[in-house]
A and B are shown apart, each in its own frame.
Chain A
Amino acid sequence: MSALAIQGIGAVGAFGCGVADLRKALASGSVSPHSVPVPAAGSEIELPVFRAATERLEEFIPRRSLRRIDHFSRLALLGACLALQDAGRLEADRSRLGVVIATGYGALRTTFSFLDSFIEGGDACSSPTHFSSSVHNAAAANVSILLGVTGPSLTVSQFEMSVPSALLTARQWLADGRVDAVLLGGVDEYGDVLGYCWKRFYGVPDGVMLPLDFARQSAVAGEGAAFLLLTREAEARYGFVADVRQGNLAGALELGEEPRLVLGADGHRECGTLYRRHLPAAARVAAYAPLYGSLPVGPAFDLAVAALAAGEDRLFAPPPQGENGLPCALLGAGRFGEGVLGCLKLGRGGDYGLISVVRG
């Protein structure tokens, strides 16, 4: 199957908004999480969270049109608009554009707002607005409606494998000639319930993510959206997605000789064990999750970083990694060159996703 040309990047996270802010975060190697109060058995605790703001969306879409659009869809809309703008295709025809969105949890806050509506007012007071916006594909629908995209639309929810899985379909659409371009994005949001779950499952992190300290639970929750505009063209602004593989470690995980990898390691000890077990000694690896946090669609951000690296022919020095138990070497700053940069995500159930990016 042909490689996918990456023509635009649109990313929104705690680091800011757009390629310039992402580049700045990569250069500084540091983004501070916000402190967010989390309800806990009648009291509150403070949890570090990488939150994302969407004010810049009004540069693209009139405020009036955004009145009923929730945070989840706003994140997706902003990511999509930024990717189109970055590609210089904000005004392009969208009749042969497809939308593929990956999400781990969907519109969490609106999901619970809908429950609030009938818990507070009784079943007869269930809010139709919250219900229709809580459906997982609401973000893709809002992107299509507000940007006038009439090609196919798909939303995939496969927890941390959502992005590689969604990319398989984006690639298929382009290969089949169903569309000329695909807006592929990952989006997830933070909410109170997620904060509570985080505290229960992992305790309260100190806010310092050390993704390659595989013995330490250091994950900090994140939210945001990362979009790419993908085409079949022979020229690409940010290199190409040369291959996508998704499967289970019950099968073979072939990483090649001396692979260079952006790891989806994001401070979860349980997954860290898998990386330690499956990384070959000849690999060189880096993880950038400390810039955007831990979220199911983290691989979309990893892919955005890899694409930016391909586009600028430079590998970014990773933020502090805390390497402990790493069976291979770190991937430091340098030229991207002619090789492959893989984005590898290993999931709890032994699932894996591997997205290979090349310059040309």
Chain B
Amino acid sequence: MSRVVPVAVTGLGCLCAAGADLPSCLETLFREERNPQPPTRFGSGHPVRYPVFEVPAEPAGGDGLSRTARLALAAAGEALADAGLERGALAGKRVGVCFGTTVGSAMNNEEFYRRFRGGEHPEMAAIERFLGSNPASVVATQYGLAGPCQTVVNACSSGTDAVGIGAAWIRSGLCDMVLAGGADELCRVTYNGFISLMITDESPVKPFDRLRKGLNLGEGAAVLVLESEEVRRLGKRPARAFVSGYGSACDAHHLTAPHPEGTGLKRALAEALAQSGTTPEAIAFVNAHGTGTPDNDRVESRVLAQALPGIPFLSTKGYTGHTLGAAGAIEAAFTVACLERGRVPANVGFADADPELPAEPVRQAAAIRGDSALSQSLAFGGNNAVIVFSRGEA
């Protein structure tokens, strides 16, 4: 794998439980605030009310679109505004959309199905909404974009993969510009699913902590505006950062558990670093997947201790919950923003070091040194994806 040309990030948008836009999210992270609560948008028959991280506001966009699609549109709007791009500026350019999701691609409307299996004749509004809410298509349609469109459904690494794929589209000349990101909403079906797997914590998530018991679900969306150098320079848009490397690999081990030695993660990490030409000394920090599940955090800390010893790492899921298909994109946006600030927030939820883990995350907000940072995701199906960002021009 040889080194590749970096791709500029010229705009960022993000909303999640930590904030309605990226600057608000960052303030929340550096204030070390979080407030997971039992879900308010759906009921649950579980004896324990597992907390989640909800986006408090109802995203705009109308009844005809799923909440996931509306979250995607909100993040895309912020990212384009951040890049200083108005709708008209996209006309005539080859603009692609690459989005990660999980819930946003699932035809699992519970109310519709309850009526169907109850022998009723349910109306088709829920299905029509599903068919009209593919996140990448919705964003492309809303902005009149004529380029390639891809919704990545690689479970929890979808958002990271979407950013890596979007950057490759720019590098190969397929697109002038790509809106790359991820979006996912909280949903009773996935809530039940993660509880059934017994990897959900009944208290606020504790990534990498000795007493970690599992994840808290969350929701949100993030978008990165990626641009070719030619188009960016014509528009005189500064790069907030560069996507300088991407790697992905499959464990081929288990449907829901990572390989105990992290074989796929090691390979993805090596590939991303080779693409970027980054040496470990240049890496300021790693935004880890850090779900707070016993298996994920054990494997991830072992791989990081082995491959990048001494490099600070943290999980931001303590502030956002696990936003599934959006997670990689939200964490990519946080990674870029932290690189710009030269600081990382504390790995909230971490208090006691686990003797089984060879490395511990950032305990307190800290200044960072180095021109690059990594964001990595591990997923059901054994998917592993890593992006390398390098410092922009600002």
Interface residues of B in 138-167 (CB under 8 A from A): 140-141, 144-155, 161, 165
Given the known interface contacts A152-B248, A158-B134, the answer about A172 and B168 at a Cβ–Cβ threshold of 8 Å is: yes
Q: Which partner residue on chain B sits nearest A141 by CB separation?
A: B381
Q: Which of A119-137 touch B at CB < 8 Å? A: 119, 122-124, 126-128, 131-137
- Is the beta-carbon distance between A123 and B150 smaller than 8 angstroms? no
- A128, B134: Cβ atoms under 8 Å? no
- State the CA gap A317–B235 with chains docked (Å): 52
CB closest chain-A residue, reference B123: A200
Residue A60 at the B interface, CB < 8 A?
no
Q: Known contacts being A118-B192, A247-B148, is A124 close to B119, with CB within 8 Å?
A: no
- The verdict on A132 contacting B197 (CB below 8 Å), with A106-B105, A119-B114, A141-B380 known, is yes
Cβ contacts A to B, 8 pairs, < 8 Å: A39-B119, A128-B196, A135-B153, A135-B155, A136-B106, A144-B252, A176-B168, A250-B144
Set of chain B residues within 8 Å of A201, measured between Cβ atoms: 124
Contact assessment for B197 and A136 in the assembled complex, using a CB-CB cutoff below 8 Å: no
CB distance from B379 to the nearest CB of A (A): 7
Interface centre among B102, B248, B255 (most CB of A within 10 A): B255
Binds B, one of A108-116, A300-308, A320-328: A108-116
B146:A145 contact, CB within 8 angstroms = no
Quick check: A136 and B195 within 8 Å, CB to CB?
no
Chain B positions 42 through 78: 1 when the CB is less than 8 Å from some CB of chain A, otherwise 0: 0011110000000000000000000000000000000
Tell me the minimal C-beta distance from A105 to chain B in angstroms. Answer: 6
Return the chain A residue nearest B264 by Cβ: A150
Question: For the complex, what is the distance from the CA of A121 to the CA of B253, rounded to whole Å?
Answer: 31
CB pair B107 A108 closer than 8 Å: yes
Chain A nearest CB from B122 CB (Å) reads: 8
Q: Are B154 and A153 in contact (CB under 8 A)?
A: yes
Question: Is A168 located at the chain interface by the 8 A CB criterion?
Answer: yes
Q: Does B169 lie at the interface of the complex (its beta carbon under 8 Å from any beta carbon of A)?
A: yes
Tell me the smallest distance from the CB of A59 to a CB of chain B, in Å: 21
A197 touches B147 (CB 8 A): no
Return chain B residues, CB-CB under 8 Å to A40.
121
Partner of B149, one of A1, A131, A148, A165: A165
Given contacts A144-B382, A145-B382, contact A115 B113 (CB under 8 A): yes
Once bound together, how far apart are the Cα atoms of A136 and B174, in whole Å?
A: 26
Residue B127, interface by CB 8 Å: yes
**Is A156 in the interface zone, CB < 8 Å from B?**
yes
In contact, A131 and B121 (Cβ under 8 angstroms)? no
Q: Is A214 an interface residue (CB 8 A)?
A: no
Specify which chain A residues have a CB less than 8 angstroms from the CB of B255 in the assembled complex. Answer: 132-133, 138, 141-142, 145
B326 vs chain A, min Cβ distance (A) = 15
Pick the 5 closest A-B CB pairs, nearest first.
A251-B146, A141-B381, A131-B193, A123-B45, A136-B153
Complex contacts, B248 vs chain A, CB 8 Å: 152-154
Instruction: For the complex, give the distance between the alpha carbons of A136 and B134 in Å.
Output: 14
Are B153 and A156 neighbours in the complex by a CB distance under 8 Å?
Answer: yes
* A155 lies within 8 A of B152 (CB): yes
Q: Is B362 among interface residues, defined by CB-CB distance under 8 A?
A: no
Chain B interface category by residue count: 35 or more
Q: How far is the CA of A31 from the CA of B321 in the complex (A)?
A: 50
From the candidates A42, A138, A196, name the one contacting B381 in the complex (CB within 8 A): A138
Whether the Cβ atoms of A246 and B148 lie closer than 8 Å is: yes
Q: Which residue of A lies closest to B165 (CB)?
A: A169
| A137 in contact with B379 (CB, 8 Å) | yes
Partner of A136 from the list B105, B161, B267 (CB cut-off 8 Å) is B105
Known: A41-B121, A123-B45, A248-B145. A157 touches B193 (CB 8 A): no
Instruction: Say yes or no: is A22 at the interface (Cβ < 8 Å to chain B).
Output: no
Give bound CA distance, A124 to B197, whole Å. 11
Determine if B116 and A39 form an interchain contact, defined as CB atoms under 8 angstroms apart: yes
Instruction: List which A345-360 residues lie within 8 A (CB) of chain B.
Output: 349, 351
B134-A151 in contact (CB<8A): no
Q: Which residues of A contact B120 (CB under 8 A)?
A: 41
Q: Is the CB of A131 within 8 A of B197?
A: yes
User: Which one of A115, A161, A169, A196 contacts B110 once the chains associate, using CB atoms below 8 Å?
Assistant: A115
Report B162 CB to chain A, min CB distance, Å. Answer: 10
Considering only residues 220-250 of chain B, those with a C-beta below 8 Å from chain A are 248-250
For A236, what are the chain B residues with a Cβ–Cβ distance below 8 Å? none
Chain A residues within CB distance 8 Å of chain B? 1, 39-42, 99, 103, 105-106, 108, 111-112, 114-116, 118-119, 122-124, 126-128, 131-138, 140-142, 144-145, 147-159, 161, 165-166, 168-169, 172, 175-178, 193, 196-197, 200-201, 246-251, 349, 351
Q: Are A158 and B252 in contact (CB under 8 A)?
A: no
Are A106 and B106 closer than 8 Å at their CB atoms?
Answer: yes
Closest chain A CB from B3 CB (angstroms): 11
- Chain A residue numbers with a CB within 8 Å of B382 are 141, 144-145, 153
Chain B residues whose CB sits within 8 angstroms of the CB of A156 once the complex forms: 150-153
B-chain residues with CB within 8 Å of residue A105 when the two chains form the complex:
107
B172 touches A123 (CB 8 A): no
> B137 near A: Cβ within 8 Å?
yes
Q: Which of A137, A158, A248 contacts B380 (CB 8 A)?
A: A137
- Which of A138, A152, A193 is within 8 Å of B250, CB to CB? A152
* Chain B residues near A249 (CB-CB < 8 A): 146
Given A123-B45, A149-B250, also A248-B149 (CB < 8 A): yes
Task: Determine the distance from Cα of A131 to Cα of B195 in the docked complex, in whole angstroms.
Answer: 10
- Give the nearest-CB partner of A43 in chain B: B119
A154-B380 CB under 8 A given contacts A132-B255, A172-B172, A248-B146: no
Q: Are the C-beta atoms of B253 and A145 separated by less than 8 Å?
A: yes
In chain B, positions 174-213 with a C-beta closer than 8 Å to chain A are: 174, 189, 192-198
Complex Cα–Cα for A322 and B28 (A) = 62
B237-293 at interface with A (beta carbon < 8 Å): 248-256, 263-264, 267, 271
- Look across to chain A and name the residue whose beta carbon is closest to the beta carbon of B148: A246
A106 to B380, CA, bound (A): 15
Q: Which residues of A contact B140 (CB under 8 A)?
A: 248
* Nearest-Cβ distance from residue A112 to partner chain B, whole angstroms: 6
Q: Contact at A200–B124, with CB atoms within 8 Å?
A: yes
Q: With A106-B106, A132-B380, A168-B174 in contact, is A155–B134 under 8 Å at CB?
A: no
